[in-house]
A and B are shown apart, each in its own frame.
Chain A
Amino acid sequence: MTQATAPLPAAPEAGRAPARPRSFGRRVIARPELSSLLGAVAVFALFFAVAPPFREAASLSTVLYSSSTIGIVAVAVSLLMIGGEFDLSAGVAVTSSSLTGAMVAFQLNLDVWAGVVAALVLSLGIGFLNGYLVMRTKLPSFLITLATFLMLQGLNLAITKLVTGNVATDSIADMDGFDSARAVFASEVHLGGVAIKVTVFWWILFLAIATWVLLRTRAGNWIYAVGGQADSSRAVGVPVKRTKIGLFMTVGFGAWFVGMHQLFAFDSVQSGLGIGNELLFIAAAVIGGCLLTGGYGSAIGAGIGALIYGMTTQGIVYAGWNPDWLKFFVGATLLLATLLNMWVRLRTSRR
């Protein structure tokens, strides 16, 4: 594996032997997702010990499902954060996407796949707009996407109410193409007597693709480069603007996918959903080793971060603990994970 932030080999200083290439063990320890993996094992062990229902395959499937709907977007968000940007609009963008899909199909009496395509166009459009504005204005993406987040939140309610007269869309369950779309986005796969939601498999697939892109392609190098040193990478010919806009559109794609899942899992969509989830995506990416400053992190780590979130939220219920404490534990997990990340990074960056 190539090092995420491979430092240039330093010129040997006078009177010192040149640094030897780092050993395999050293390289494993320096992976950004390692500490989150330790955290995931710890959380899993904790709930495995205290909650008997947690030990069953069916429960594990619920945990994975609850992780996957956060995880699919979190993977895209982690790529964006490695690229040095931030997206606060991803949570409500999921709902915007499913509302668009439902309303286009229902109001125009189209096959639901037409709604799916319309939603994809909208989601990629929102991503493009975010990216374009960030690159054009040079404002921090935090501000731009905060504005998008608030605007989308308002649009979700206002347009839904305007078009349907209610705050939720009409059910599209009896329309053409619904069954095939449900099979793609919201079906269940039975493995050895356990029903696993299809989103889990999509999540793993997206994780694999994102990891391959990051570690094995030129685009992946560009992502690390624009996140680490935008000006330097521009100077050596990396298309900074294209890369960053592409990353925002990738988040749009993730939001679209989860939006479609919600639409086909529940046939009608409430316009107020999704608020607050943008922070969970970011939390998952940060637990997985991404830095807020960009240039460092991994997609696998974000996947593990989402898994930690899923295990914590469901595990507390399996353990029969009072759900009042849920958010506290999620926050405490986040804090511990980031401290662990920092510690591991400091230990491994020393020569």
Chain B
Amino acid sequence: MSNSNRRLAFVATLAAAALAVTGCSSGGGKQAEQQNAAANAGTAGTAKIRIAMITHETPGDTFWDIVRKGAQAAAAKDNVDLVYSNDPAGPNQANLVQNAVDQKVDGIAMTLAHPDAMTGVIGKAKAAGIPVVGFNAGIDNWAQEGLLEYFGSDETIAGQAFGDRLNQVGAKHALCVIHEQGQVALEARCAGLKQAFKGQTELLYVNGQDATATQSTIQAKLQQDKGIDFVATLGAPVALLAVQSVTGAGSSAKVATFDTNKALVQAIKDGTVQWAVDQQPYLQGYLAVDSLWLYKFNGNTVGGGKATLTGPAFITKDNIDSVSQFANAGTR
């Protein structure tokens, strides 16, 4: 074979491979996603305002995609220019709130995962006359920090509901996996679970930013303690990893979780995950933005000085079908 022939053969092989990979898939993919378009409504006739949303999102957590979609939907409806920013470290998140105050935004929606770190900047926002609402984390702190309203799930109640359910299914020994150190909402969930659950509860800290480490840590724990018959995770991505850990450890433990995402819905359908406690993140993001708009243009506040609860609700095999359509569009 001469050189040019060999080159020709190589190019032909490449072309064939390229054709093979550009073939259409008969199912799934972008097309399926577009057919499940999310809720869409008109636009309000009010003046354009600027709202900053600042969260403790660890970049890359699916939960926050859903929160942001809700916030964007409300922003589109209310003619709001939404500025989103996030940092999992308390001091950095406080800096981002200060940043929003500097920008003289018309309203701030923020999470209080690290309430102590936020006291100073919330004072700054109030001094500048900017209304601040809380959502998702900090149900025990928002009122004393002086926020207008709060939208979220009471994590202690959610944890207790989870613990009760564990009692119902006859679990004996639960492992509660915390994937973000020092996040008050996650700690509260496990604490609530421990209160209500009659069996033994153990805590396990993993690094939620490192999937392989999370998966192997849970697996090692299951191998070390064969008595664990239930793994409770606090986020959908962690639940899916825990399913792998259970398989890998050859354990008979069952997995259940807080929060959902698109992939988790399928896992509940398949029965690999027993249930998910839903706090409706879409609703949290939506209400946080919408309430600021209401406050700005009509002076309304929601909740009568109490937190507005967006959960907990259980998603199980029985009601999964009503949820899955929206989950596939990435809004539940």
Tell me if chain B binds chain A. yes
- Chain A residues engaging chain B, CB cutoff 8 angstroms: 53, 56, 58-59, 62, 65-66, 69, 157, 166-168, 171, 262, 265-268, 270-274, 314, 317-318, 320, 322-324, 327
Q: How many A-B residue pairs have CB under 8 A?
A: 76
Nearest 9 CB-CB pairs, A to B? A272-B181, A270-B182, A167-B182, A53-B103, A59-B102, A266-B117, A268-B116, A58-B102, A323-B85
Is B187's CB under 8 angstroms from A167's CB?
Answer: yes
Cβ-based interface call for B104 (8 A): yes
Is B91's CB under 8 angstroms from A69's CB?
Answer: yes
> Complex: how many Å from CA A265 to CA B102?
19
Cβ-based interface call for B86 (8 A): yes
Q: Which of A56, A168, A171 has the most CB of B within 10 A?
A: A168
Inter-chain contacts of B180 with A (CB < 8 A): 272
Closest residue of A by beta carbon distance from B103: A53
Q: How large is the interface on B (under 10, 10 to 19, 20 to 34, 35 or more residues)?
A: 20 to 34
Is A318's CB under 8 angstroms from B102's CB?
Answer: yes
Cβ-based interface call for B99 (8 A): yes
Closest residue of B by beta carbon distance from A95: B89
Cβ-based interface call for B220 (8 A): no
Inter-chain contacts of A271 with B (CB < 8 A): 181-182
Is A53's CB under 8 angstroms from B90's CB?
Answer: no
> Complex: how many Å from CA A101 to CA B103?
35
Given contacts A56-B102, A171-B116, contact A62 B181 (CB under 8 A): no
- CB < 8 Å neighbour of A167 from B85, B119, B181: B181
Given contacts A270-B182, A271-B181, A323-B85, contact A317 B116 (CB under 8 A): no
Distance in Å from the Cβ of A322 to the closest Cβ of chain B? 7
From 72 to 131 in chain B, residues with beta carbon under 8 angstroms from any chain A beta carbon are: 81, 83-86, 89-92, 94-96, 98-104, 114, 116-117, 119-120
Inter-chain contacts of B95 with A (CB < 8 A): 62, 65-66, 314
Cβ-based interface call for B305 (8 A): no
Is B91's CB under 8 angstroms from A317's CB?
Answer: no
Distance in Å from the Cβ of A95 to the closest Cβ of chain B? 10
Cβ-based interface call for B205 (8 A): yes
> Complex: how many Å from CA A119 to CA B290?
46
Is A314's CB under 8 angstroms from B116's CB?
Answer: no
> Complex: how many Å from CA A63 to CA B296?
29
- CB < 8 Å neighbour of A272 from B59, B119, B182: B182
Extra 18 A-B pairs, beta carbons < 8 Å, given A157-B181, A157-B205: A53-B104, A62-B95, A66-B92, A69-B91, A262-B91, A265-B91, A265-B117, A266-B91, A267-B116, A267-B119, A272-B180, A272-B182, A273-B90, A273-B182, A314-B95, A318-B102, A318-B103, A323-B86
